[in-house]
Amino acid sequence: MEKEIVTRLTKTFEDYAQNADGVEFWYARDLQKLLDYNDWRNFLKVIDKAKIACEKSGQQVKDHFVGANKMVKIGSETERKIEDIMLTRYACYLIAQNGDPRKEQIAFAQSYFAVQTRKQELIEERIALIERMNARQKLVASETELSKLIYERGVDDEGFARIRSKGDEALFGGHSTSAMKSKLSIPQNKPIADFLPTVTITAKNLATEITNFNVRKDNLNGENPITKEHVRNNTDVRKLLVKRGIKPEELPPETDIKKLERKVKSDEKRIASGRKEK
C-alpha cells in the first residue's frame, strides 16, 4: 500500500475516533463508511461475527460492543433516531479481521487496529508488572518490620523463619513453603514471594501488617504467641480469598520478579537513551 494512502487513511480513522471517560471508541455507522460497506444490514453481519470472535477470545462482548442511538438529520429541520453501536479499538480490530482484506480500507484497518491494540496490551502488561513489583516491595518492608519487632521480643532469625513458614502454611491451605516451592517448580533457594501473583503477595502483606500491628498493640513476646497471631491472620486472609473463589495454592506461578525488575531497569535506560525497542 502506498505511503500517501496509509497517511490519508490514518488521519481519516483518527478523525472519526471518539472519547468517553478516557475510553477511545468508534461509532459503527462511521466505521461502516470507513470500511467501505454500503449496506448497514450487511455490516451488522460482520459485527455479529466479530462478537463471536470476541466471546471466543474470553472477552466480554458488552465491554467492547455497546448499543447506542443517535439523531441524524433527514431534512433541513427534521431528525430521526437511528441504531448505532459504540466500538472499542479491540472491537474494531475484530470487525476488520472479519472483513474482506482485498478492500483497501479493510486491509489498512486490520493493521491499524492490530498495532494500536498491541500497544494497549503492552501498556496494560507494564502496569500489571509495576503493580506486582510495588506489592512485592511492600511485603519486603512489612516482613523486615516484623523481623525487627520479634527480635526485640526474644525471637532470633531462625524463629522468624519458622513464624513466616507457619504463616505461609496457613495461607496456602496446609502446604508448607517448601511444599509450595516444589508444587510451583520454584528453586528452594529463592524466595517464594518472587514467583507469586500480585493477589497472593498482597494477601501475605496484609496478614503480616496485621501481625505487626497486633504484636505492638498486645505487646506479644516470644515465638509461640507471635506464631499463633501470624497463623491466625493468614488463616483469616485465606478465608476471605477462598470466599471470593481464590485458592492461593492453586494459582500458577509468575515470572521471577527479579528478572522483571532487570527488564524494567533496562527499559528505563533504553528510553533515556532514546533507543527504540527491538
State pLDDT tens for residues 113-141. Answer: 777 666 666 666 777 888 898 899 999 99
Q: Which residue from 205, 203, 225 is spatially nearest to 214, judged by alpha carbons?
A: 225
Q: What do you get for the CA distance between the two ends of the chain, in Å?
A: 24
pLDDT at 274 over 60: no
Looking at per-residue pLDDT, the higher value among 65 and 237 belongs to: 237
Which sign does the torsion angle of CA 232, 237, 241, 247 carry? negative
| Average pLDDT, rounded, for the chain | 85
pLDDT at position 1 is 54
pLDDT of residue 268: 56
Q: Which three cell numbers stand for residue 15?
A: 478523525
Q: What is the pLDDT of residues 131-171, one digit of tens each?
A: 898 899 999 999 999 999 999 999 999 999 999 999 999 99
Question: What value, to the nearest 5°, has the Cα angle with vertex 213 and ends 250 and 241?
Answer: 20
Which is higher by pLDDT, 177 or 260? 177
